[in-house]
Amino acid sequence: MNWIRDILKGAVIGIANIIPGVSGGTMAVAMGIYDKLISSVTHIFKEFKKSIVFLLPIGIGMLIGIVGLSMLIEWMLGKIPIQTNLLFIGLILGGIPAVWGRLKGVSIRPQHIIGCLFFFALVVVLAVLDGTEGGAADLSFGLVNCIKIFGVGIVAAATMVIPGVSGSMMLMLMGYYNPVIETINAFVKALVAFDIQGILSGCGVLVPFGLGVVVGILGIAKLIEVLLSKFPYVVFWCIIGLILASPVAIVLLNDFSGFNVVSGATGLIALVVGIVIAMALGGDSKEAPDK
């Protein structure tokens, strides 16, 4: 039963990573597994069995979310964008009690407020800058492009791990979001059709990108683990700032021009559903920081 729950959590995190303005790190916090996820990644070689037991179902869920549901999410954002975005805002807001519980009984200090406000502003500024996104990047196969795609994977993965900062948003800023999503969808279609040329073409992009993602996650996870061990309350206040800014980023990055009574009512239902899902999935983790 725990495996099913962890797979569902991983699916939510995976889906979040392909939605502009939504942070996979934020969803990990909302699901109540963020610090355990960071610890498992950074200690995967020292505590291999323990880490794999935790990471495997999360990884399976993320794979399902990213690959299996990317077409569905693409369709939902095209057909019912308001409801879809409000669903993710609900998932984000539903995770706030899990983070706030980590700070229960802790006095608020100036550095906490400064960190919260700074990272709130950072996400909003990134969302505003995203409006200047240029043309799509070139993903044609070649040594230079492979190196560039590897580097893009590192940057995207690093931002995916940080709560409140959207990896998809960073891909958009670099012009790689649409090409990568289209490549994933084309790769899945090629696999289904057993199109060898299409599979190899997809691998030429997804392999260097995937390797960059692994390097980026390992690197940033270690840094976050150190910060959590030395300044846990400051880090969690910064995370609160990032989380509170995420709904603002979603509104700035997406089209809400079609808002009306019907979309508003169904969107409100989606918002509540998101909150309930996040609170239900994150309700099994109530640990406090060590310091």
Q: Tell me the pLDDT band of 84, cut-offs 50, 70 and 90.
A: confident
Can you tell me the distance from the alpha carbon of 29 to that of 281, in angstroms, rounded to the nearest whole number? 11
For residue 63, which of 12, 19, 28, 26 has the smallest C-alpha distance? 12
How many residues in the chain? 291
Per the domain annotation, does 289 fall within a domain?
no
Can you tell me the distance from the alpha carbon of 63 to that of 15, in angstroms, rounded to the nearest whole number? 9
If one counts the domains in the chain, the total is: 1
Can you tell me the distance from the alpha carbon of 69 to that of 183, in angstroms, rounded to the nearest whole number? 14
Long-range CB contact pairs, 55-58, < 8 A, 24+? 57/2, 57/3, 57/6, 57/7, 57/10, 58/6, 58/7, 58/9, 58/10, 58/13, 58/33
Per the domain annotation, does 288 fall within a domain?
no
Per the domain annotation, does 241 fall within a domain?
yes
* pLDDT value at residue 268: 93
Per the domain annotation, does 8 fall within a domain?
yes
Sequence-distant (6+) residues with CB within 8 A of 282 are 29, 30, 31, 32, 94, 95, 97, 98
The pTM of the full predicted model, rounded to 2 decimals, is 0.62
Can you tell me the distance from the alpha carbon of 65 to that of 8, in angstroms, rounded to the nearest whole number? 9
pLDDT tens per residue across span 143-155: 777 888 888 888 7
User: If you average pLDDT over residues 39-64, what whole number do you get?
Assistant: 86
Q: Which domain holds residue 250?
A: 2-282
pLDDT tens per residue across span 224-253: 778 878 888 888 888 788 778 878 877 877
* pLDDT value at residue 203: 86
Per the domain annotation, does 291 fall within a domain?
no
